A and B are shown apart, each in its own frame.
Chain A
């Protein structure tokens, strides 16, 4: 296969390679799937501009998750501000949600909400198999602090999972919540 020659081709190639991981990252982190889609779109459009502008390409996965993490954080804060203002109206027209047949995504989000914003971000980035260096880049945390903070986040995650009620459909080793 020929190597991509234009920024557009390179961006599409990277989308096919990392798009699902970025989407999974955003879907778990965000409350609404529309927000996850927005994070995905924004990330890859920024990638396109980055490539078109001759930006560095030595660690594109880390770059993508850094941009996605910032986009997710911006949206969470913006939505929180918006909801505070007119939350009553949201109950009248609930936004559509991501298909979640076995309720697993809901439970994961519920458990993640028991953690701090930093712990959530660390865990979800780690789950996408980012290196400590990539996690440090995406979160703005010092590289030497990633390991200790991640270990603590793991412990708090396990406590959160133990504290929530997990439906039988999700209570399986496959889902890894036990």
Chain B
């Protein structure tokens, strides 16, 4: 028999060679040397890759317990003595499209729940949803966050080509409908700003287009409570509720620099329904374990069959009393050279801007 090739040498080392190959390796001094050399190299490779780590005790306990219970359908449950516990994955993303919400961006509302020793992914999400649904916070809430949008949401907010914004938001919880929302580019330059004051029935909006600032000063009717922050809050609340309804929450405990956090992810596992108004493909939320406030939130899906994604990362949050709020906080700054358009507003900002601009165009034409 001819001398062995590399594959045959490998097979001899792995005890996978045919009988005649093994016999040749035993009889041929040259091939025998090659086998021994390969054995040494393979031992080194095996020692390198087969790292002597064992199943962590907590994980082993959990696996054995699950095998005793004989089911993978139970909720993800974290217990006090095993904070690193991972969830059992369920196999179906339940269709939870009963929730309806307008989407643009996200808002953060701090919940005040106290932590417990035992909690599930569904419970964590439920608490966040519960807190998001409560608007009883008093004082003025200041939020600063990074917002990344893509798809349909990026078309709604076209200022930044990469869809990344830094957002400052002020919400007056003592006066429904009073807010300020400002977006900035990475360089800190103001991109847009909108503020509303129900007491004076005023809404001011400033936007920039091709270097020109436009300022809309509009009167708003009574009971205009649907504001961008409120829409954002509803979107977040509905998204988290949809995650809660999913049967495939993946829970992970993170020990971060700012304390323990729960990271819950719901990956897409099933095809979308053809008639869904709103559908999520992937969703992830990071929740602070101490008070269940949402630190990060990201969703990807379709709305009216248009793909979109929104990611939110909280940078700073503070709540002030009315006395602590600096003067001018709820005012949109006046940009030099801005074209000011005045008129009557409605509950829909985009419509107001369009109607205001068209009326101004008509006036200019008549004046000529």
Does chain A have a CB within 8 A of B354?
no
Query: Can you name 17 A-B residue pairings with CB atoms under 8 Å?
Result: A7-B70, A8-B67, A12-B68, A27-B53, A40-B63, A44-B66, A45-B66, A82-B282, A85-B309, A86-B284, A93-B263, A123-B45, A126-B14, A147-B7, A158-B41, A175-B47, A176-B47
B45 touches A96 (CB 8 A): no
Does chain B have a CB within 8 A of A128?
yes
B67 touches A40 (CB 8 A): no
| Residues on A facing B (Cβ under 8 Å) | 7-8, 11-12, 15, 19-20, 23-24, 27-28, 34, 37-38, 40-42, 44-45, 48-49, 52, 78, 81-82, 85-86, 88-89, 92-93, 95-96, 98, 104-105, 108, 112, 123-124, 126-129, 131-132, 147-148, 150-151, 154, 157-158, 161, 173-178
Contact for B67 among A15, A42, A108, A112, CB less than 8 A: A15
Q: How far is the CA of A42 from the CA of B89 in the complex (A)?
A: 8
A96 touches B54 (CB 8 A): no
| Nearest CB in chain A: distance from B25 CB, A | 14
A7-B70, A176-B44 as given contacts; A98 in contact with B53, CB under 8 Å: yes
Contact for A177 among B44, B89, B300, CB less than 8 A: B44
A127 touches B46 (CB 8 A): yes
Q: How far is the CA of A166 from the CA of B43 in the complex (A)?
A: 18
Of all A-B residue pairs in the complex, the 9 with the closest CB atoms, nearest first, are A176-B44, A176-B47, A127-B49, A176-B48, A127-B50, A151-B10, A45-B72, A23-B55, A11-B67
Chain A interface secondary structure, helix, strand, loop or mixed? Answer: helix
Does chain A have a CB within 8 A of B84?
yes
Contact for B53 among A23, A150, A177, CB less than 8 A: A23
Interface residues of B in 21-43 (CB under 8 A from A): 41-43
Chain B residues with CB under 8 Å of A28's CB are 49-51
Q: How far is the CA of A148 from the CA of B8 in the complex (A)?
A: 8
Closest to A38 in B: B86
B88 touches A45 (CB 8 A): yes
| Nearest CB in chain B: distance from A96 CB, A | 6
| Nearest CB in chain A: distance from B45 CB, A | 6
| Nearest CB in chain B: distance from A178 CB, A | 7
Contact for B70 among A48, A85, A132, CB less than 8 A: A48
Chain B residues with CB under 8 Å of A123's CB are 45, 49
Closest to B44 in A: A176
| Nearest CB in chain B: distance from A52 CB, A | 7
B252 touches A151 (CB 8 A): no
A105 touches B313 (CB 8 A): no
Chain A residues with CB under 8 Å of B6's CB are 151
Does chain A have a CB within 8 A of B59?
yes
Chain B residues with CB under 8 Å of A150's CB are 10, 14
A41-B63, A85-B309 as given contacts; A124 in contact with B47, CB under 8 Å: no
B55 touches A20 (CB 8 A): yes
Q: How far is the CA of A151 from the CA of B38 in the complex (A)?
A: 10
Closest to A21 in B: B50
Which of B127-135, B254-262, B356-364 lies at the binding interface? B254-262
